[in-house]
A and B are shown apart, each in its own frame.
Chain A
Amino acid sequence: MAGCGAPDEPPLVIAGKDRGALRLSATGRKAARLGLGPGLTLADAWARVPDLDVVEADPGADDRLLLRLAAACERYSPSVALDPPHGLVLDVTGCGHLFGGETALCARLGGDLKRAGVGARWAVAGTPDAARALARFGKSGIIAPGTDESAVRPLSIAALDAPPDTLLALRRAGLKTIGDLAGRPSAILSARFGEALAAKLRRTLGRETAPLTPLRPPPPVRVERHFPEPFLHMEQMESVLAGLIEAAACILEERGEGGRVFEASFFRSDGEARRVAVETGRPTRDAGAVLRLYRERFETLADPVDPGFGFDGIRLGVAACAPLGAAQVSLDGRAVEAAGLDGLVDRLVARLGRERVLRFAARDTHLPEAAFAMRPAADAAPEAIAWTQPPPDDPPARPVRIFDPPQRIEQVAALVPDGPPRRFRWRRVTHDVVRVEGPERIAPEWWRAGTDGVTRDYYRVEDSHGRRFWIFRAGIYRETADPGWFLHGLFA
């Protein structure tokens, strides 16, 4: 990522605060030729080269760029790992043939990075550590399988990424290249410098390999297609996606599984990548249903999928799978009904979002505002508490509509202070109460932490027009001098 300016421009250095001083964190090519390197304080650099173009370091922006590049690289391999501060490791095992061989893959990747304005060094080798050492300290290129050791041997021991004092000690002992170290017995090395160095050496030589920790674990089922020519139209994109979903459904069927989370990645020809995921309530491999979910999702994306200069690759990964047997329909068709409702929930969730498709759940409390909960219907249903029903032949005890928070009512007239109201005013209209039932006294739940309310006396009242209200007095006269009245709900 070294910038190279025009010949007459001053050398570029990037400086940031490090160990109490402004130090160079990276330098341009021209600055490097003048002998400036990372770690030098800015004051020293100025002393050597007075005319410097200094840019403040922004590690956050570096990280973001690296993440974006990693996302763009996912088109070449599903398993991309970060190698901070500015490296990426791709596991391209079995990926080469999709692009016409590893050479072609590397050429395309190099072209992509160049277009993105990034100068990169790369190497392909048998283990991540060997490739990393070659990319940073050797020549870019592809190492033939099995020849890692001979390729790595001439490299400087700096490629082992060991602490500076270890490197210094090794150099003092006359061990300058990896090849010098490789000849020594491993036991002596680990006794003197620790097991970590010996292990790193073995991995760099390709004698053993360490597993990669990818940015995103590769999905268990994935299908993808790449195109020599990018295409621009959403319709084409949809038809490709439909084909991929069907292919994924076939794989899922063989595995006896269904997908819960589908992730489609759209790779643009200019190196950008966009991921769109849909979720289903229960495992599915119904290609039509998944495609419908995607259509809903595309329609409602706040930031639409932009083809830009065209897409040249699409990958569909099934990020979460669950066992799903062959479809079985019971005689009365009930299984079909349940599946129909789940499908509807999935479609509505894809269109409106999880928090807008809800189910009610009863809660075990007397407080009216806490007596029920609304949960996303896409979540698994927890154990249900039964809803209470009034005794037979009693009218509804709870209103069909509830206000949250309760609405204040004014000019409440009651015959006796603690008695039911005879008249009240709500939303600028006066209501004369002709029928009343109550009070139903609901006290705050002192046994729960954090409850500090007042006792409420609820009344079910009906006005002269036949409208029924649920109103309460907050507090009894013993507790407060001037209790307020509130309307909490409306009865049918």
Chain B
Amino acid sequence: MDRSTRIKTLAALRTQLAGLDGRPVAGAGVRVALGAPAIDATLDGGLARGAVHEIYAARPADAAAAAGFTVGLAIRAAGEKPIVWVRQDFLDHEAGRVHPPGLADLGLDPGRVLLVRAKDIAALLRASGEALRCAALGAVLMEPWGVSPLLDLTTSRRLGLAAEESGVPALLLRVAADPAPSAAATRWRAAAAPSAPLEAGAPGHPAFDITLERRRGGAAGETWAVEWNRELGVFRERPALSGAVVSLPAGRPHRAGAPDGGLRRAG
């Protein structure tokens, strides 16, 4: 029996076992539902586990929103398993550090997160590749800064293969970068969206406008307005906002010429 057949057989057996005890198990064919029925229907049940998913911040100023969306995806995908978050050092100064109490407030136990600080993109890719081979993980979150010739089609294919073999999803969060050709299973664009206000005009739950820009072997281009629900650990579609605030058009231009970005591009 060759290697790929063996892996497939094992994956099938694992899925079968998971059905028996009701625990979700890693595997190439397993999908992670986001929780919002409309999105899950478009995705044929959810995000594939053993694959690369790219999340782009719509504009540099949406970096925190994209990070929130990615953390939500990681929570959905990881279950109770540990998460490895590989970050480039430069982000600490430009986009801010990872704030563990904030992760806890989104429903992710920071004790389950292993933070790996990479000096540059090459180190980040090596560390992520190493992490993706570890089937004990729930998700690998990669966060490079800006563009690099190293982040090309070959790299994403290699990451995809590693993810497929271990069944660990790779979430690639890109800030200050334009989409480039890649072998990712899905590509998302996330932007901050006005939240549903609470009493006394307080900002509400994390809200995003997410666009499925690309999907391997399927239709794409749809935009949803979603909200992250910490209690249930799911994304919910947001009802249309009423009242004073006008919701931004969902399909707004990706790159406006105006200096809108709150983040400087440097380096």
A residues lining the B interface (CB < 8 Å): 336-341, 343-345, 347-348, 351-352, 356-362, 368, 371-372, 374, 377, 384, 387-390, 392-393, 395-404, 426-429, 431, 434-437, 460-462, 464-468, 489-492
Tell me how far the C-beta of B11 lies from the nearest C-beta in chain A, rounded to whole angstroms. 15
Interface pair A352/B127, CB less than 8 Å apart = yes
Does B179 have its Cβ within 8 Å of any Cβ on chain A? Answer: no
Tell me how far the C-beta of B267 lies from the nearest C-beta in chain A, rounded to whole angstroms. 15
Interface string of B234-262 (1 = CB under 8 A from A): 00000000000100100000000001111
Given A371-B101, A395-B203, A436-B201, A352 and B71 touching (CB < 8 A)? no
Closest 5 CB pairs of A and B: A492-B68, A340-B136, A396-B105, A401-B96, A490-B64
List 5 A-B pairs, Cβ < 8 Å.
A357-B115, A387-B104, A389-B105, A464-B194, A492-B208
B residues lining the A interface (CB < 8 Å): 61-65, 67-69, 71-72, 81-82, 84, 92, 95-106, 109-111, 113-119, 123, 126-127, 130-131, 134-137, 191-195, 197-198, 200-208, 228, 230-231, 245, 248, 259-264
Residues of A within 8 A of B136 (CB): 336-341, 344
* In the bound complex, CA of A372 to CA of B99 (Å): 8
Interface pair B195/A462, CB less than 8 Å apart = yes
Given A396-B105, A397-B105, A400-B106, A337 and B81 touching (CB < 8 A)? yes
- The contact of A341 among B105, B123, B137, by CB within 8 Å, is B137
- The contact of B195 among A371, A464, A468, by CB within 8 Å, is A468
Tell me how far the C-beta of A434 lies from the nearest C-beta in chain B, rounded to whole angstroms. 6
Residues of B within 8 A of A344 (CB): 84, 114, 130-131, 134, 136-137
Number of A-B contacts (CB under 8 A): 218
Interface pair A434/B82, CB less than 8 Å apart = no
Interface pair A398/B99, CB less than 8 Å apart = yes
Interface pair A426/B262, CB less than 8 Å apart = yes
Residues of A within 8 A of B115 (CB): 357-360, 374
Interface pair A372/B110, CB less than 8 Å apart = yes
Tell me how far the C-beta of B121 lies from the nearest C-beta in chain A, rounded to whole angstroms. 14
Interface pair A429/B134, CB less than 8 Å apart = no
* In the bound complex, CA of A221 to CA of B248 (Å): 68
Residues of A within 8 A of B116 (CB): 348, 352, 356-358
Please, which residue of chain B has its CB at the minimum distance from the CB of A428? B259
Residues of A within 8 A of B263 (CB): 427
Given A341-B82, A360-B110, A392-B231, A372 and B101 touching (CB < 8 A)? yes
Interface pair B96/A460, CB less than 8 Å apart = no
Please, which residue of chain A has its CB at the minimum distance from the CB of B91? A401
